[in-house]
Amino acid sequence: MTSPLASSSPDPAALVDLATEAAGQAVDLLAAGLDRARVTVATKATPTDMVSELDRASEQLIVEALLAARPGDGIVAEEGSAVTGSSGLRWVVDPLDGTTNYLYGHPGWAVSIAAEDAEGIVAGVVADGTRAEVFTATRGGGARRDGVPIACSQRAELSTALVGTGFGYDPARRRAQGEVVAGLLPHVRDIRRMGAAAIDLCSVACGRLDAYYERGLEWWDLAAGGLIAAEAGAVVSSLDGGPLVSGTAGAVAAAPSIAAPLRGLLDSLGAQDVP
C-alpha cells in the first residue's frame, strides 16, 4: 500500500506528522543532554555565536528521519546538511534554535522543521523543549498548539503591546539593534527578548506576544514559525515589507490592528537598515 508521504503531492497533515515525530525525537535527545558535559562547544562567525555537538547530533537525527520517510526530498539545515532532492519538496531545519539558552540551561530553546514547496512553506512544526509544547501549522489549515487551534492577539493599540525582538551576534549589528529598541520602547508596553526566533513567532501565534520583529535571521529561524504565526492570524512579512521568503533578512509578525503602526515606527527608527 502506498503511504501518503510517498505521494508527489503530499498531504500537508502527513508532513506535519512526520516533522512532529522527528522534532520530538530531537527534543528528547537534546533534553537528555542538558546536564551532560559538553565534548565540544565551538563558535561560528563571531565568538558569541555558539554551536555544540548536540546541535549537530540533533540535525543528523532529523535529517535521517525525514529522508528515511521521503528519500527524494531536499534538505537545508543550519549546521550544514544540504540535499538537493528531486521531489519538489524541501525541508528547512533548525535542529536547535536558542543554542545559547540551551548551553546555559536557560529556558527558550526549540527544534524547528518546515516543509517548502514551489509555492512556499506548506507545513511547519516548532517543538519547544522547555515548555514541552508542539506548535504546528499547514498552509491554509490554521495553527495549533498540542493539537488545539490557536489565534494571535487582538491587541488594538501599539502603546499597550508586548513586543518581542532579538539581537544578532555581530557587535556592530547589536549596537544598531539596541538603538532601535531604545527608540521603540517608549511607544509600547514593554519589550521581551527570548533568544529563539521560532519560539517568538509561536508566542505571537498564541498571544503570548502581541508582536515580534528581528533583523539578521536565517531562513531556518523563520520558516516554520512564520507559517505558524500567519496561520494563527498574525500579519507576517519581511522587515522591508515584502513577503517572508528564503533570503529574507528579517521578519515582523504582529496582531492585525497594530501591524501597520508597528511597521511605520520600525521604518522611522531604521530597523530595516540595520547592517
For the segment 2-18, what is each residue's pLDDT rounded down to a tens digit? Answer: 333 334 578 999 999 99
Residues 129 and 94 in one domain: yes
The residue among 84, 119, 147 that closes a domain is 147
What's the whole-number mean pLDDT along residues 165-192?
95
Residues 169 and 247 in one domain: yes
Residues 30 and 70 in one domain: yes
Residues 263 and 173 in one domain: yes
- Domain containing 233 — which CATH number? 3.40.190.80
When comparing pLDDT for 241 and 23, which is higher? 23
Q: What pLDDT shows up at residue 7?
A: 40
Residues 100 and 233 in one domain: no
Residues 84 and 50 in one domain: yes
227 occurs within a structural domain: yes
Using CA atoms, how far residue 218 sits from 4, 8, 229, 257, in Å, is 30, 28, 17, 27
Positive or negative, the Cα torsion across 49, 239, 262, 134? negative
Residues 41 and 94 in one domain: yes
Q: What pLDDT shows up at residue 5?
A: 39
- Domain containing 82 — which CATH number? 3.30.540.10
CA distance 57 to 60: 5
Q: What pLDDT shows up at residue 41?
A: 52
The residue among 114, 147, 180 that closes a domain is 147
191: domain range? 158-273
Residues 165 and 124 in one domain: no
Number of folded domains in the chain? 2
Residues 36 and 139 in one domain: yes
Q: Are 198 and 110 in contact (CB under 8 A)?
A: yes
What's the whole-number mean pLDDT along residues 228-248?
94
Q: Are 105 and 34 in contact (CB under 8 A)?
A: yes
- Confidence class of residue 273 from pLDDT cuts 50, 70 and 90? confident
Q: Which of 213, 2, 198, 222 is nearest to 101 (CA)?
A: 198
Q: pLDDT of 62-97, one tens digit each?
A: 999 999 999 999 999 987 888 999 999 999 999 999
When comparing pLDDT for 36 and 226, which is higher? 226
